[in-house]
Amino acid sequence: MDCGNHTSVTEFILLGIAHTRGLQTMLLLLFLAFYLFALLGNLLILLAILASSTLRTPMYFFLGNLSVFDILFPSVNTPKMMGVLLGQGRGISFQGCACQVFFYHALGCTECFLYTVKAYDRFAAICRPLRYAAMVSARLCTCLAVGTWLGGCVHGCVLTLLTFRLPYCGPNEVDSFFCDIPAVLRLARADTSLVQTVSITNVGAVSLTCFLLVLTSYTRIAVSILHIRSSEGRRRAFSTCSAHLTSVLFFYGLVIVVYLRPASSPWLDAAVQVFNNVVTPSLNPLIYSLRNKEVKSALRKVLTPVAQPLGDKD
């Protein structure tokens, strides 16, 4: 079905976050703080990994990939959202909307793959320590990293092409603060059941498969930790997994709330999406650095040359 005598939509209007009238300034400052913290925190971790010879291991290689993700992911939607709060207009071009959908789902899928790969790395380190170097070689790490990013791009391409090949002839108001598939499909002048089925199946299949692989890895890890005789050994083994496990729980908890719960609440959906888009990327630097002595030591080495000139000026 095409638009017939109607004009195809060239611009969408983002309606923003529901029930926030009068809170624009407070929300803008809050989102700006989280966004800057996400950029700065993840950039520092990435620089620490690149600069420190002690962090040239598979675990920190994948942490570096996660830091790149946490820099890119909030940058997909947050700048536009802050522009809307500043009163710079709610309009977004058709192409811009398609780009938001692509990068949102491509990066979301990449994150899912990264957590799965990191779970495999922890499984190999704890359950197969003598074979760890062979199981997680530099070549395999590179192949897995490239595969996660390419897999995410393929996932994003499929969903974006299916969504935006439909005719959009008006209305053009997206009931959200960014373009996502469910909000955009409501505006299509065609049967969207196929796209909805494919998107839900695709997102669900990727998330469920990755979750089962992570669950399998951590089940094996838990069994191995329980077989460690010394309490100090068990504590050290658990500490190497605690940061990743915390991030996984955040990630899949949000996926369940957004995509798998039966009832829909616009306010709760917006709150969860804001937390996923803005807050979570700023939490990962804290999660991975507060309890990790090696990362904290590398961060000090990165920050010391910056702090010394400031101290000399005083």
Q: What does the pLDDT look like over 124-138, one tens digit per residue?
A: 988 888 898 889 999
Q: What does the pLDDT look like over 202-226, one tens digit per residue?
A: 877 888 888 899 989 989 988 888 8
Q: Is residue 6 part of a domain?
A: no
Q: Is residue 5 part of a domain?
A: no
Q: Is residue 314 part of a domain?
A: no
Give the domain CATH number at 65: 1.20.1070.10
Q: Is residue 7 part of a domain?
A: no
d(CA 62, CA 121): 9
Look at the pTM and tell me if it is higher than 0.85: yes
Q: Is residue 149 part of a domain?
A: yes
Q: What does the pLDDT look like over 9-66, one tens digit per residue?
A: 888 999 888 777 778 888 889 999 999 999 998 998 898 888 888 888 888 899 899 9
Neighbours of 256 (CB within 10 A): 13
Q: Is residue 2 part of a domain?
A: no
Neighbours of 122 (CB within 10 A): 23
Identify the band that residue 193 occupies on the pLDDT scale cut at 50, 70 and 90: confident
Q: How many whole angstroms from its chain centre is CA 60?
A: 17
Query: What is the structure's pLDDT at 4?
Result: 59
Query: What is the structure's pLDDT at 158?
Result: 92
Of 270, 273, 279, give the one whose Cα is nearest residue 15. 270
Cβ within 8 Å of residue 18, ≥6 positions away: 266, 267, 270
Q: Is residue 219 part of a domain?
A: yes
The predicted model gives 186-202 an average pLDDT of 84
| Full residue range of the structural domain in which residue 231 is found | 12-309
Q: Is residue 3 part of a domain?
A: no
CA angle 106, 3, 103 (to 5 degrees): 10
Q: What does the pLDDT look like over 62-114, one tens digit per residue?
A: 989 999 999 999 999 999 988 888 888 889 999 999 999 999 999 999 999 99
Structural domains of the chain, count: 1
